Amino acid sequence: QVQLQESGPGLVKPSETLSLTCSVSGASIGSYYWTWIRQAPGKGLEWVGYISSMGGTDYNPSLKSRVTISRDTSKKQLSLMLTSVTAADTAVYFCARTQVVGPTGPPYFDYWGPGTLVTVSS
């Protein structure tokens, strides 16, 4: 059974860096793409970015200058870093296993963590 669990500080000050970890069990990190998605309170879903099975990354253009996704295969963990945060970055952050469809894309997300709420406030 694939399970994902996000963790990290629930409160981050404006202008600081948001850092989250996603622990994965039941699947090999090196065999799949993994995606971070966020959801502001009462709002819709926003794709943040992904890390591929080969370790390459792709990010939402609106966040690209501030976001970094990485992985530690030995620890079975994914990481998300978002710099210079503002109140607009307040959201529940989800990590999700990603299935690549192929040329007709886009990928879809078949297993999700429960999410972790990050509030940006002084």
Partner 1 sequence: QSVLTQPPSVSGAPGQRVTISCTGSSSNIGAGHAVHWYQQLPGTAPRLLIYGHINRPSGVPDRFSGATSGTSASLAITGLQPDDEADYFCQSYDSSLRTYVFGSGTKVIAL
**What is the binding site for partner 1 (CB under 8 A)?**
44-47, 60-62, 94, 99, 101, 104-110, 112-115
Nearest to 66 by CA among 54, 48, 52: 48
State in angstroms the smallest separation of the CB of 73 from partner 1.
23
Query: Closest CB to partner 1 among 16 and 46?
Result: 46
Query: Closest CB to partner 1 among 71 and 97?
Result: 97
Q: What is the DSSP string of the chain?
A: --EEEEE--SEE-TTS-EEEEEEEESS-GGGSEEEEEEE-TTS-EEEEEEE-TTS-EEE-TTTTTTEEEEEETTTTEEEEEE-S--GGG-EEEEEEEEE---TT---EEEEE---EEEEE--
Query: Closest CB to partner 1 among 63 and 76?
Result: 63
State in angstroms the smallest separation of the CB of 44 from partner 1.
5
State in angstroms the smallest separation of the CB of 8 from partner 1.
16
Query: Closest CB to partner 1 among 74 and 106?
Result: 106
State in angstroms the smallest separation of the CB of 13 from partner 1.
27
